[in-house]
Structure 1
């Protein structure tokens, strides 16, 4: 095909892909080369990183290789809480978080076998290592690589009064592939196949303070204010339902901190399957496809609930009255709530399967364009179910809201599966040098009516630049810098996971009735040094 026709084919590919959709957290820190090209590398798999993006690309390697990679990333997610004119939570209108904003954010990394370190940094630095082996006379290439397949790290512990503490003081979700035995097979000069088995260590940590700005709590609180003296004592109440028996600390408010929760779980060995194909019928065109299998990852770990005096004293007062225990039994309320309750827990959380296809166009010697489309099955995250080794007394209070099983915590998510497009451009000004540019518009898998501060991931745009420098026959260097940004605006009542005031929607809407606006920014820098033997 002549160069003008090839250029026309490239333009057609771009125009077809413009209504782009996107992903959640996959491929954000996986490969230095892929990030530089907007993760559009399925038809031009990047060396040892082919293990993840398309293992068929391993069959293009010659000789033995070692890849040393390191990247640094920082995440900044901000939110502002505004009280609308009609704000009312069961008669309560003065919420102390109104008009506030979240503060400083830091990152951390879960260290396998150790846990969460005590230090917090403005960003996180992660080194990885990969190997590939190929006998020049063989059609087979074998490789293994370590990489971060999935990661998000949010830490708001710097400011103890940060309003974001009610929706994730600390959130750590990561999937670190530490071994990935893989192979590529050269079927012919134009067709290659590959497969790999990434073996990952997965970590899931959520540490948050909790409050429940709910209409029913507001009504209870107002009833107490009208019935109970300021000192909390009422002799008539002792022979009633004990609404005042908890004293001043047992006075209910929808805006008080109710408890703190920490969940920390891991899945040390979680294998999946990658399958890839690469077809290169001409030097100027290639097509690639990869299937990255998912898994029902089984996590185990520990939990801790710390309940504040408000609910503890309220339940204590209720059960110290004449008719309170009867009402509590009818409503399924606990007889007491301990200050601290902890133990062992487990959860099955899906690691979504992922399909990606791509094309490579090289219309002239000095220009190459990659276009990829991908689909990740994030609809598997409709809700997360955490199972505890005992009945959680704090959750027994939720029976008021139709939640019968206090040995389980069900957190709605409501995510969706979407299609994502990525674009990569390479320029080759002279031998041994390639300049890279990437663009990836990522329409979030988190719908606006499900967004919250645990996963503050709206539609974003990822911009990247990078280069490849072939230093000599033995070494090549890849450098990449990327910037991703996005923002959201969730007026009151629009997110069922953050600011809804629906009567029974108590788990979990800590900013009920507020307009919440926020943004997220991710900065990334990485390098890889490839050694050829």
Structure 2
């Protein structure tokens, strides 16, 4: 047995039974924030996609409202725009073998169980065979998202058969005026997926949707001179979020509660409670079997807000016929969404907690801790189904964009963009459940005892501290004027993760990613124009055993949802995007 395993087992055995049970209660919600790392992917503009989104100095038609509102000044007369996007998305998680720590935990406890086997290899004391008790469905398995994307809309989450959608906008430049006005519909953020009810990755998220849709964006651009333009927009957004999360937590404390030590001191041979155990002198019911890899609870919620405001600003300057410079700003968006949650506790974990909290003397424990300001749930609260109102608050980060566009020759143009996004502002996500939640009441005490409140858990609130970092990254694109009507494009974008290397998160499958793209634009008759683009994005990440504090942590103090404790995890996110737009004067 390694020193790490010996230390962990020693910790568990020297900890009081009450603390072990507190650790059981700390169930923490998996973060869906990977959806936030899809900057500009869901805008749906084919020119921007095909140029690696390097369009701050070369804004694309009506979507200038997002990329650089000053670009709207280039649109003359009255124009309308329709665009469509088809996306094929895949999110995979591959769960491999246990590392040394978790394998050691299994080996150690399996060895202890040998003295309690009968002649058929079954455990006595009303327990299951070890192979049943410690069965982990995720061991050496593969998880894949299924079907089309899941999105949040007014009314709830929707599973689309395919990843497809459409939108559009219009612009107007009065004759002889230096002003241009416009509005556009687009999705700054829209991502989500679903897994089957039996998929082993469901404990990371079975169904999730994260949506921000700009449905009205009144914009004005002004030509200060023939070479300098400015623009600004006010954005009216819908924001929504939904999640279905089955919960398990194979913490070492749960292995300990099922150990021979507990059986000897707290339970009779037939599995009933020892009413005069030698340790406490009173009956404490710890005899309900809770397999460490069983599904303890289910968290389901949907929240949204129909009116969330933001704004964009931009500037375009062409100091020479062959050079254009661009600067734009996308404001932070303060989001507060309201809805409902449902968080039932499942058997056998519910039965275990009810029996434990019905033990003689439990009320005295609750009253004593209550006098210290510590709230613990009653057995009745555990037995009831937890439902109630929920408010989710976070900040969509601000972003600065700077770019240049070089007309190298009459036919060749080169664009380069650099973007900075304040992902650290997205690190704080607050969930206010409106009512005391039994599992959070346990979790708040375990958080205080185990980490000094580091995880931000209270009986009715969770304050996420994701620890994200600000990110700067670049994209580039080139354009070739093949003929008077046809232009060819290609682009590349390097998209680094906002998750620090010092704090990996196995539930954010999209980390460092590369985007490559191609496309074309074609002028039709009667002042009509079409653009098309294809883009391919790939992100692959490896989380060796015990490397991710959220996901496969091994430290006994990391009780924040180590759902795949000590297991090797690999993630892969792929996206193929097909985008088409149509532009017409009217």
1:310 aligns with 2:352: no
CA distance in 1 between counterparts of 2:534 and 2:546 reads: 38
Larger mean CA deviation between 261-270 and 366-375 belongs to 261-270
Equivalent pair of 1:24/1:457 in contact (CA under 8 Å)? yes
Match of 1:335 among 371, 378, 384: 378
Match of 2:163 among 124, 140, 162: 124
Equivalent pair of 1:411/1:507 in contact (CA under 8 Å)? no
Equivalent pair of 2:150/2:194 in contact (CA under 8 Å)? no
- Match in the other structure for 1:190: 227
- Match in the other structure for 1:500: 553
Match of 1:73 among 82, 87, 94: 87
Equivalent pair of 2:152/2:242 in contact (CA under 8 Å)? no
Equivalent pair of 2:205/2:245 in contact (CA under 8 Å)? yes
Return 5+ residue gaps in structure 2 as ranges: 1-35, 111-133
How much does 1:136 deviate? Answer: 2.8
Change (3 A) 1:272 1:241: farther
- Match in the other structure for 2:5: none
Match of 1:279 among 313, 317, 339: 317
Structure of greater Rg: 2
- Match in the other structure for 1:106: 147
CA distance in 1 between counterparts of 2:223 and 2:61 reads: 15
TM-score where L is the length of structure 2: 0.82
Larger mean CA deviation between 254-263 and 322-331 belongs to 322-331
Change (3 A) 1:234 1:177: same
CA distance in 2 between counterparts of 1:439 and 1:321 reads: 63
Equivalent pair of 1:237/1:243 in contact (CA under 8 Å)? no
- Match in the other structure for 2:494: 441
1:134 aligns with 2:147: no
- Match in the other structure for 2:54: 40
- Match in the other structure for 2:10: none
How much does 1:453 deviate? Answer: 5.4
CA distance in 1 between counterparts of 2:175 and 2:496 reads: 43
Match of 1:86 among 90, 98, 101: 101
Change (3 A) 1:449 1:96: farther
Q: How does 1:494-533 map to 2 (within 5 A)?
A: 494-533=547-586
1:397 aligns with 2:442: yes
CA distance in 2 between counterparts of 1:139 and 1:165 reads: 55
How much does 1:150 deviate? Answer: 1.1
Change (3 A) 1:185 1:294: same
CA distance in 1 between counterparts of 2:406 and 2:340 reads: 51
Match of 1:289 among 320, 327, 335: 327
CA distance in 2 between counterparts of 1:63 and 1:496 reads: 56
Change (3 A) 1:189 1:512: same
Equivalent pair of 2:89/2:149 in contact (CA under 8 Å)? no
Q: For the aligned residues, what is the CA RMSD?
A: 2.1
Q: How does 1:36-435 map to 2 (within 5 A)?
A: 36-82=50-96, 83-87=98-102, 88-89=104-105, 94=134, 95-110=136-151, 112-117=153-158, 119-121=159-161, 123-156=162-195, 158=196, 160-222=197-259, 223-226=261-264, 227-229=266-268, 232-236=271-275, 240-244=282-286, 250-327=288-365, 330=369, 332-336=375-379, 337-398=382-443, 399-402=445-448, 405-435=458-488
CA distance in 2 between counterparts of 1:92 and 1:47 reads: 65
CA distance in 2 between counterparts of 1:100 and 1:111 reads: 29
CA distance in 1 between counterparts of 2:460 and 2:431 reads: 8
Change (3 A) 1:195 1:104: closer
Change (3 A) 1:120 1:56: closer
Return 5+ residue gaps in structure 1 as ranges: 1-22
Equivalent pair of 2:179/2:223 in contact (CA under 8 Å)? yes
Larger mean CA deviation between 409-418 and 361-370 belongs to 409-418
CA distance in 2 between counterparts of 1:381 and 1:25 reads: 14
CA distance in 2 between counterparts of 1:463 and 1:289 reads: 23
CA distance in 1 between counterparts of 2:550 and 2:580 reads: 38
- Match in the other structure for 2:42: 29
Change (3 A) 1:109 1:472: farther
Deviations 1:454-493 (A, max 9, x none): 4311111001111101112321011111110010011122
TM-score where L is the length of structure 1: 0.89
CA distance in 2 between counterparts of 1:220 and 1:487 reads: 37
Classify the secondary structure of the residue corresponding to 1:415: coil
Change (3 A) 1:335 1:280: same
Change (3 A) 1:210 1:446: same
Change (3 A) 1:343 1:230: farther
Deviations 1:210-264 (A, max 9, x none): 111222233223244444357531342697342345xxxx323332211010121
- Match in the other structure for 1:11: none
Change (3 A) 1:149 1:115: same
Which one has a larger percent helix, Structure 1 or Structure 2? Answer: 2
Number of residue-to-residue matches in the alignment: 503
CA distance in 1 between counterparts of 2:488 and 2:67 reads: 20
How much does 1:400 deviate? Answer: 2.6
Classify the secondary structure of the residue corresponding to 1:515: strand
